[in-house]
Amino acid sequence: MGKYKIAVIPGDGIGPEIVKAGIKVLNKIAEKYNHQFEYEEVFMGGCAIDKFGEPLPDKELEKCLKSDSIILGAVGGPKWDNVETQKRPEKGLLKLRQKLEVYANLRPAKIIPMLQCASPLKKEKTDNVDIMVVRELTGGIYFGDRGKTDVDAYDVEKYSVEEIRRIAKVGFDMAMIRNKKVISVDKANVLETSRLWRKIVEEVSEDYPEVTLEHMYVDNMAMQLVSNPSKYDVLITSNMFGDILSDLLAAVCGSIGMLSSASLGNTKRGLYEPIHGSAPDIAGKNIANPLATISSIAMMLEISFGLTKEAKEIENAINTVLEKGYRTLDIYEGISNQTKVGTMEMAEKMIEEIK
C-alpha cells in the first residue's frame, strides 16, 4: 500500500471536466492496488483571478509545494484576455513551474495504431512515430525581461550555461533508454542564445558517446516533422520552440486531446498535465477528450511514485477502449465500428477495463 498527497488544479474551461475524469480512473487504481491518494484542490488561472484577484496566490502555491505531485487540467480563456499581463491566467502556470523548479518538460508524441487514420498525414508517413520532446521549461523568452510603450514592445530571450546543460543532460539520458538519437533544435543562424545552446549541447554530448547528435534549425525541424516524423527519437529544445513543436506533433498524432506531459526537476515531485489548452468553446458540454489527462496521470504514477504496473494498467485500458471503438468527438470519424462517448463516459469505459 502506498500513500500519496496530490495537489489537484482543475483550472479553467474543460480543465475541471477532464481532471474529474482522470481522478475517477485514479481512484479505481487506488481501489485495485490498495493505494491511498489524498487530494487537495488548488485554485490557479482564471478561476483564481475571479476568486482571489491573482492567478496563483501564495497560499495556493504552498499546497503544491507540500504535495508529492501535481495534476493540472488547463488554464486561461477569452474571459481574461483583457487582464493586465502580469495577472493573466498563464502567469499562474509560469509561477508554478518556476517555484517547483521543474525545468524539464517531457512531451511524448506517439502514434496509437487505432488512431493512425486520424492523422492528417498519409499512413506510410506515420508508421512507428514515437518521439520524445524534451523542452526547457523555466527559462527563455517566457521568463525574460519584457516591456512595452505606445510605439513598441519587447520580450528578451535569455539562457544561462547551466540552464542549457541540465536540460541537455535530461535529453541525453532519455535517449539512452530509447533509440540513442538526439536532435537539438535551435535557431543558431540568427540567435545568440541558440549559438550558446548549440555549444553547450555539444559539450554534454561528449559524455554520451553512444548517442548520435544532430543539430537542426527550428523551421526546418517543423518541416521535417510533417515530412518524415518516424525518423526522429528525442528532440531537445528551448521553451518556446518546444511549446510550438509539441503542438505540431499533436496534430501529426491525430489529436491534441491525446498527448500527455510531465514537468520535472531535481526531485521526484512532478507537474503532470495534458498539452492542450482550456478549450472554453466546449467547456461544460461533456465532449472533451480526457485521455491526455489520464495518460498524464499514468506518467505520474510511473515517474514520481514508481508505480510502473499501475501506470501500465492505465495505458492498457486506454488502448483497449480505443480498440473497442469508443471515441470522444475530437477523434470520432463516424464509421460503423466506432461509438461516440462523452468525457465521463470515456472514463467509465476505462474503469470497466481496470478489472
Taking residues 305-323, report their average pLDDT: 96
103, 142, 159, 208: the catalytic one is: 142
pLDDT at 298: 97
- Predicted confidence band of residue 306 (pLDDT cuts 50, 70, 90): very high
pLDDT for 318-328, tens place per residue? 999 999 999 99
Grid cell, residue 140, equals 527563455
Taking residues 251-271, report their average pLDDT: 89
Q: Please give the backbone phi and psi of residue 107, each rounded to the nearest 5 degrees, phi first.
A: -125, 95
pLDDT at 120: 85
Is 243 part of the annotated catalytic residue set? Answer: yes
Range name among 29-38, 97-106, 305-314, 330-339 with the lowest pLDDT average: 330-339
Domains in the chain, ordered, with CATH?
1-103+262-355 (3.40.718.10), 120-252 (3.40.718.10)
**Helices 89-100 & 58-65 angle (0-180, nearest 10):** 40
The answer to whether 200 touches 186, Cβ cutoff 8 Å, is no
**Residue position matching grid coordinates 540552464:** 163
pLDDT at 231: 95
pLDDT at 325: 94
Taking residues 116-129, report their average pLDDT: 86
**pLDDT at residue 114 above 90?**
no
pLDDT at 177: 94
28, 187, 232, 233: the catalytic one is: 187
Sign (positive or negative) of CA dihedral 305, 47, 136, 314: positive
HSE, CB side, 13 Å, CA atoms: give it for residue 304. Answer: 26
**pLDDT at residue 186 above 80?**
yes
Cβ neighbours of residue 349 under 8 Å, at least 6 residues apart?
321, 324, 326, 341
Is 247 part of the annotated catalytic residue set? Answer: yes
* Angle, vertex CA 45, rays to CA 41 and CA 51, nearest 5: 70
pLDDT at 84: 82
The answer to whether 233 touches 211, Cβ cutoff 8 Å, is no
pLDDT for 211-257, tens place per residue? 999 999 999 999 999 999 999 999 999 999 999 999 899 889 887 77
243, 272, 326, 330: the catalytic one is: 243
End-to-end distance of the chain based on CA atoms, in angstroms? 18
**pLDDT at residue 29 above 90?**
yes
This prediction has a pTM of 0.89
**pLDDT at residue 203 above 90?**
yes
Q: With CA atoms as reference, report the closest residue to 290 among 331, 335, 252.
A: 331
pLDDT at 222: 97
pLDDT at 263: 96
Tell me the average pLDDT of the chain.
95
Collapsing DSSP states into helix, strand and coil, what is residue 211?
A: coil
**pLDDT at residue 194 above 80?**
yes
Taking residues 265-280, report their average pLDDT: 94
Amino acid letter for position 215? H
Q: Give me the torsion for CA of 215, 217, 221, 223, rounded to 10°.
A: -140
CA 132 to chain centroid:
11
**pLDDT at residue 196 above 80?**
yes
Question: What is the percentage of the chain residues whose pLDDT exceeds 70?
Answer: 100
155, 247, 324, 332: the catalytic one is: 247
Collapsing DSSP states into helix, strand and coil, what is residue 279?
A: coil
* 35 torsion bin: left (phi>0), alpha (psi -120 to 50), beta (else): beta
124 or 13, which is more confident: 13
Amino acid letter for position 52? F
Is 142 part of the annotated catalytic residue set? Answer: yes
pLDDT at 127: 87
58, 145, 207, 219: the catalytic one is: 219
Is 219 part of the annotated catalytic residue set? Answer: yes
* 271 torsion bin: left (phi>0), alpha (psi -120 to 50), beta (else): beta
121 forms bridges with which residues in the sheet?
A: none
Q: Give the span between the Cα atoms of 246 and 228, in whole angstroms.
A: 15
Range name among 4-13, 91-100, 244-253, 346-355 with the lowest pLDDT average: 244-253
Question: What is the percentage of the chain residues whose pLDDT exceeds 90?
Answer: 86
